[in-house]
């Protein structure tokens, strides 16, 4: 296992494989060919074989992949063969939607705390969680064993939210606010930027139109 | 201008540059060095210079970049120097949050239609839009001049939503549902998958812990 060398783009594809493999298990499909897996994931078979080579020999010649074994190996290597406790900072429209979203718990990310600095929101209950003042993050993070923070504040408050999370000893942040944040080394940051994807689609539509494809 | 050759990773970085440059303009900063821009964007200066070389000669020796000129050039090349009308399909928690999100309009993506197949939601008003039956997408798309669709349905309904959008002649889709969709050639698809980012953060925390960094 050479997990420490998995490139970023591979991790993104592995996340897709996990999604597809979990759907296969739900449909009681226990074995899949690399071609079948490639088609379901929208990548080419040689890419899949290359990506999965990180985990040792999982393909069986003439059979394909054993879905459960492959899923277990990928999850182990990504550190998602366990659950992670997550805090959300910023209980606005998006924050509320994410607190209520089923996908996190399904994939092992348990939202255990909701934080906001707006006195009108503190004490409110959203998706079974009481909204707590962001200043209390450090104190609550220990009690709740929080390891990951999600930021859903307005962009101008994202850095402050990040500071609270870092002070609370949280080592990984997913930032949904459309602004960059600064964190010390050793804290992993990911950006979920909807607008990137809209830009990319707009660009590709323009491009296809200029090619006469659309 | 060689926009048809801009690689995907470059488009993602360009979207970050747009975000940072727009913030500079709001703060009345008209000129920025490539080092300053690199720092604000979280990439290295040689990468910025390489990316911006797609747009011709924008750097001025000893000065840096003229923020407005650079922003205009990037926006033109990405096809975002205009507004795009967007339809949202799936008015659940996430759909509602996105309909109310200010970022889309700010960046030129105007949400003009909200669609859902749930009879209990049809006719309801969300963020100033009346929810319309998804079957009427084709009819409405023409009237509303919709060019991009956003899917926020549950995963098992994403393909049906995509079919409605394709039948309505829409050439670009941003899929927020955690499932793959199939569309004809010439339709651009982007996936916004929160879980990818959580997987990535979880992986990096595990990795940092094994390195003794965290």
- Which helix (DSSP H) or strand (DSSP E) does residue A21 occupy? helix A8-26
Beta bridge partners of B31: B66
Q: Which two tokens stand for residue B59?
A: 């750097």
How confident is the model at residue A3, as a pLDDT? 45
- Which helix (DSSP H) or strand (DSSP E) does residue A5 occupy? none
Report the SS3 class of residue B210: helix
How confident is the model at residue B127, as a pLDDT? 96
Residue A87 makes CB contacts below 8 A (sequence gap 6+) with A111, A112, A113, A114, A115, A137, A140, A141, A144, A146, A148, A149, A150, A165, A168, A170
Distance (Å, whole) CA B212 – CA B205: 10
pLDDT tens figures, A86-102: 999 999 999 999 999 98
How confident is the model at residue B2, as a pLDDT? 41
Q: Is B41 on the interface with A (CB under 8 A)?
A: yes
Distance (Å, whole) CA B49 – CA B38: 9
Chain A residue numbers touching B200 (CB-CB < 8 A): 8, 11-12, 15, 188, 190
Q: Which two tokens stand for residue A188?
A: 């992993």
The reply to whether residue A84 touches residue B198, judged by beta carbons under 8 angstroms, is: yes
Give the global pTM.
0.86
In the predicted structure, residue A55 carries a pLDDT above the cut 80: no
Distance (Å, whole) CA A41 – CA B181: 10
The reply to whether residue A196 touches residue B100, judged by beta carbons under 8 angstroms, is: no
ipTM above 0.90, yes or no: no
Average pLDDT (A130-148) is 96
Chain A residue numbers touching B179 (CB-CB < 8 A): 19, 23
Average pLDDT, rounded, for chain A: 89
User: pLDDT below 70 — which residues of chain B?
Assistant: 1-5, 55-58, 213-214
Average pLDDT (A58-72) is 84
CB B116 within 8 A of CB B134: yes
Residue A102 makes CB contacts below 8 A (sequence gap 6+) with none
How confident is the model at residue B214, as a pLDDT? 52
How confident is the model at residue B4, as a pLDDT? 54
């Amino acid at each position: 296992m050479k997990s420490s060398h998995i490139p970023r783009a591979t991790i993104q594809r592995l996340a897709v494989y996990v999604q597809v493999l979990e759907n296969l298990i739900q449909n009681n499909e226990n074995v899949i060919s690399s071609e079948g897996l490639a088609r379901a994931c929208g990548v080419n078979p040689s890419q899949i074989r290359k990506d999965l080579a990180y985990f040792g020999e999982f393909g069986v010649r003439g059979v394909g992949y054993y879905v459960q074994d492959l899923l277990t190996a990928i999850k182990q290597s990504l550190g998602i063969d366990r659950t992670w406790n997550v805090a959300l900072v910023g209980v606005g429209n998006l924050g509320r939607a994410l607190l209520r979203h089923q996908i996190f718990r399904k994939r092992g990310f348990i939202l255990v705390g909701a934080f906001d600095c707006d006195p009108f929101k503190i004490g409110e209950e959203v998706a079974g969680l009481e909204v707590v003042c962001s200043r209390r993050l450090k104190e609550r993070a220990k009690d709740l064993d929080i390891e990951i923070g999600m930021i859903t504040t307005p962009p101008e408050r994202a850095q402050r939210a990040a500071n609270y999370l870092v002070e609370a000893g949280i080592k990984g942040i997913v930032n949904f606010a459309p602004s960059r944040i600064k964190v010390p080394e050793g804290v992993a940051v990911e950006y979920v930027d909807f607008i990137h994807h809209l830009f990319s689609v707009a660009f590709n539509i323009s491009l296809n139109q200029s090619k006469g494809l659309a």
